[in-house]
Structure 1
Amino acid sequence: MSKDHTTADVAFIQALAELLNSNDLTEISVKREYGENDALNVKVSKQTQMVAAPAAAPQAAPVAPQASAPVTAAPALISADPAEHPGAVASPMVGTAYLSPEPGAAPFVAIGQAVTAGQTVLIIEAMKTMNQIPAPASGTIKRILVADGTPVEYGAPLMIIE
């Protein structure tokens, strides 16, 4: 790899980091090929703590306290990785999570609510398509790990059902 590649690669990686931050992404992976045996694989990522953002819509106001309620109720659960929890509902795709069927409507579920297997718990918009995410098993919603309108990645924990 030449010095020209190195200088350009540093600028490229900085541009990826700026893209990551400006679009609220948590990870970007890129492979840049210069020739047959000359390539650069870059993975830029950051760890983020999911915090419910305040929303302008009145229906989203109850979501923020619910998402932050476990912080005071069970600090031991917060330190553990929610993705490892046996009741974690993982995102089946990359997209934007919505907790209600449309703006102004009541959320699909709330913390403490009983759900049945197959019941829609949220939707993920991907490529302008609304995908209903069903509860994988019956149980009670213990934690909602995403705020309404936030981007999610494949495999990211969305909520915990016990």
Structure 2
Amino acid sequence: MASPPKAPADDPIDARLVRRLADILTETGLSEIEVEHAGLKIRVAKTLTAAPMQMMHAAPMAAPAPVAVAPGVAATDAPARASGDEVKSPMVGSVYLQPEPGAPSFVSIGDTVEAGQTLMIIEAMKTMNPIPAPKAGRIVAILVEDGQPVEFGEPLAVIG
């Protein structure tokens, strides 16, 4: 690749260089690129959006995976209707039920927890965020699976 063009002395950022970097993103399919030259650092990034998919034939939807329910809670109770308070996700990310792969889960159904005790973690932007119990009680249901992506406000667990 040729060396980046020089910027005019009065303008520290060369718009032609930024445009060329944007072109490189498009040509290579990268989502961001950063260059540093002579003390000037330029980072160009693009936001990726998912295009709507056109479906020819709708495939039958799979039944939702069964959610484990603590003893004493009827199997006919839907997880969202389990008696107790829902712990909701404070952010978008991926939920993990244990501190690291292969380690025991933070909590299991039927465990008694204290207020502030870590129930699970949510990875958001490469940061692991502990999700604390909002109150003391017993874990009645865990409504997510390990590694599952979660949305803001999505129920994660129920404490009775």
Gapped runs of 5+ residues in structure 2? 1-49, 55-60
Q: 2:93–2:124: 8 Å Cα contact kept in structure 1?
A: yes
Residue 65 of structure 2: aligned partner: 51
- Equivalent residues, number: 104
Query: Identity over the aligned pairs, expressed in percent?
Result: 50
> What is the TM-score of this pair, normalised by structure 2?
0.56
CA distance in 2, matches of 1:132, 1:48: 31
> What is the TM-score of this pair, normalised by structure 1?
0.55
**Alignment RMSD, CA only?**
3.0
Q: Tell me how far 1:126 sits from its aligned partner.
A: 0.4
Matched, 1:121 2:119: yes
Matched, 1:16 2:52: yes
Q: 2:93–2:149: 8 Å Cα contact kept in structure 1?
A: yes
CA distance in 1, matches of 2:84, 2:138: 13
By percentage of residues, which structure has more helix? Answer: 1
- Give CA-to-partner distance per residue, 1:10-66, whole Å, 9 cap, x none: xxxx94247xxxxxxxxxxxxxxxxxxxxxxxxxxxx997527xxxxxxxxxxxxxx
Q: Secondary structure at the match of 2:68?
A: helix
Residue 142 of structure 2: aligned partner: 144
Q: 2:87–2:156: 8 Å Cα contact kept in structure 1?
A: yes
CA distance in 2, matches of 1:90, 1:49: 23
Q: Tell me how far 1:85 sits from its aligned partner.
A: 5.9
Q: Tell me how far 1:74 sits from its aligned partner.
A: 1.8
Q: Which runs of 4+ in 1 moved over 3 A?
A: 47-50, 67-70
Q: Tell me how far 1:157 sits from its aligned partner.
A: 0.3
